Structure 1
């Protein structure tokens, strides 16, 4: 770990953000011979990457909302414990973002978003396999698939419709009846009607350990970590000048990978005001629930996920729009335990359970920004909404390709497959 500000000549790439996107990109760039420093005001992995659901959600190829959000808006405003909540005090600030989200639900932009998410997701699991194999940590990734269960017979048409839409997007999906669910996850309630099984998904046994192991691998290639707050940024003729809380730093390039906090620095370096907001996500960690499930299980009706981890069972999910400044609404985390009631033959043990909240960075078209701008001096990798863990390794590979382009080569010409993720779309 750095204890002093590095000299400018020692830094090729300064990465702002030590979440899973930042550290995977750091490893990729260091392996390409770059001298890299990661900067974050928190210890590495203490943001949204710490508390994610651990699910490699390659099956989730649809945007975060569809047209049904219009019907749900009153409940979003009035139900503080609902699965999708908009704090009414935050409504004036959120209104421009939601307006853009609704415009992106029109057929053409919606299909563009689906294609962009699907493209990243299709490459996500292979990218993680390559990364974890390269650092000898493949055991952190379990590839037993995942299951979406349903409880009510009247939910079957909705489930069938989802299965059909997923198959149209070439997502591997199987219908399981109640007996198949019981055979594979015998601790689940016998009252479940069945579900959809996704064989080409998986989960991570410890998201924080995954991040620290990737960071350790990056550090073995010379990557340094500087615990500092970046308070400003300015383009120079041959690089970028960063103002820190206690000093300055100059680098040939900067990579902005600070999740929901990326907008101010993006504006400072590019002049572009990105419509970035946050889906506040919650989890409840149950340390006494070892071995309850063989894979991640999501409830169709209750809209939350349960993931088995080395340290217990993690209940996660729900989306709350309340911005970056309001304190966590921890009753929402405890609501996850109430949502689990009735899904198992025996109730979950919540003794010593710990709640958590994190900021998931979200753009109104549900696509991240993965780009190189400002004549190659600025790299961007943020806005992955609830798919940050899933898409981190493949994003790092794309950032590596962008960083390797000569300054005279435009990314949109050399890498047209990344066009959907360009900053210029805003």
Structure 2
């Protein structure tokens, strides 16, 4: 790999020897590493802090799908009818652990409040504004780090099996057309021409030509890390305990060092961002976590050419270089409860009937990770405290999709310029929660 290396001081780079870095990025997931790479291109001294090695959090186990077609919030009005089932069915696609319900209730109340027509449409507009530019941003970023081969731009399918689902699918297609999402209706036979191992149960579906997938999410992060390090970025495994903003910048207290100072800080630690955000900004953010599961099938390389989502079964199957990844389901149980890996194994059961022959689960590995979720389904991408605190978190299940674009926006904000990618950043401002 020949990463592009930028040298020379940025106009705002500091030479103060008492300042450990121009910018500290808290979080070494896909968004944090993409931000570090973008900031290093400006000649800034960047340090990335995370309690885990880069890419080992939610970024490691995501579905790998560049979900540019998903412009609608995580829930709609139908969620009200689903609440009893969410509490009673531990294996359902949308699960609320009854023990977590008292803590989750304020978040769900805000989610339901955001289902009113005006805020719901504002969320759709905000998601769409990011998604429609996300793939192009990924192309630029992966070209810059000589890793475009990790991105497969061949579209994806949403398929259905039951005849009575055709009406639901058509309604979804119409809504997507209204939002200018590229979408095509395909017959079951046409889908099997592309993915011949899918069963005859598939009646038809939607094809999204503007989507893509990555063949190894962790390798994407690793490529960014290597290129960022070539630009002088330092990655440290360290937990940030607290911090405060002062006249000189930001001081952070970590678990294994004396206080660390920086001119600016980027908060990009996903579902773990709420506490630090409150400390650094004074604003309490209604951030919760969608616990997502995957099951990796190492003996199923080549089973599918592109990502396929089941409408009725509500999960996705993505081909990767290490096998076929089955992912999906949403569980609200917070950050502390242990993973329920039966939910990961349930994904294999959900796949039964979708293929001409059953998927081989030999040596399969389950996984669970935390997706950071806000009740309006929009991330926080902002610059506050006179530009000393930059925020980049809350992307729920679109973290991978929106990471490269978010990094470009953060780099613009760090240079105190208006975003060149998204004309209006107001939907993503922290102030919407103040």
TM beyond 0.5: yes
Q: Which residue of 2 aligns with 1:160?
A: 170
1:28 maps to what in 2? 38
**Counterpart secondary structure, 1:405:** coil
Aligned equivalent of 2:130, options 120, 124, 131: 120
Change (3 A) 1:8 1:79: farther
Is 2:20–2:260's contact at 8 Å kept on the other side of the alignment?
no
| Contact 1:7/1:249 (8 A) holds in 2 | no
1:195 equivalent to 2:205? Answer yes
Cα-to-partner distance string for 1:169-216 (whole Å, 9 max, x where unaligned):
000000000110110100000121010000010100000001000111
TM-score, length of structure 2 as denominator length: 0.94
Which segment drifts farther, 244-253 or 331-340? Answer: 244-253
* Residue aligning to 1:133: 143
3-state SS of the aligned residue for 1:32? coil
Q: What pairs up with 1:319-334 in 2 under 5 angstroms?
A: 319-334=330-345
- Which aligned pairs between 1:375-414 and structure 2 lie closer than 5 A? 375-405=386-416
Instruction: Tell me the distance in 2 between the aligned counterparts of 1:378 and 1:8.
Output: 19
- The answer as to whether partners of 2:129 and 2:422 remain within 8 angstroms in 1 is no
Hey, what's the Cα distance between the residues in 1 that align with 2:144 and 2:97? Answer: 44
Q: Determine the C-alpha separation between the residues in 1 that align with 2:394 and 2:298.
A: 30
- Structure 1 contact 8–249 (Cα < 8 Å) conserved: no
- For structure 2, which runs of at least 5 residues remain unmatched after alignment? 1-15
| 1:3 match | none
* Aligned: 1:293 with 2:304: yes
> Displacement, 1:34?
0.9
Q: 1:53–1:314: 8 Å Cα contact kept in structure 2? A: yes
Paired with 1:186 and 1:304, the residues of 2 have a C-alpha distance of: 19
> What residue is the counterpart of 1:59 in the other structure?
69
**Cα distance in structure 2, aligned partners of 1:191 and 1:270:** 53
Query: Aligned partners of 1:64, 1:415: CA distance in 2, in Å?
Result: 22
What residue in structure 2 maps to residue 251 of structure 1? 262
Unaligned residue ranges in structure 1 (runs of 5+): 1-5
- Could you say which residue in structure 2 is the equivalent of 1:425? 432
- The answer for the alignment partner of 2:349 in structure 1 is 338
- Give the Cα separation in 1 of the matches to 2:75 and 2:305: 29
**CA deviation after TM superposition for structure 1 residue 10, in Å:** 3.9
Q: How many residues align?
A: 417
Select the residue among 186, 211, 223 that pairs with 1:213. 223
1:9 alignment partner, SS class:
coil
Q: Structure 2: how far apart are the matches of 1:119 and 1:415?
A: 7
List 4+ stretches of structure 1 deviating above 4 A. Answer: none
Deviation at 1:416, TM superposition (A): 5.3
**Residue pair 1:330, 1:355 contacting (<8 A) in 2 also:** yes
Q: Residue 415 and residue 134 in structure 1: after superposition, are their counterparts in 2 closer, same or farther (change >3 A)?
A: closer
RMSD: 1.5
| 1:233 maps to 2:243 | yes
Listed one character per residue, the Cα deviations across residues 85-115 of structure 1 (whole Å, up to 9, x for unaligned) are: 0000000000000000000000000000000
**Alpha-carbon distance, 1:236 to partner:** 1.2
Partner of 1:180: 190
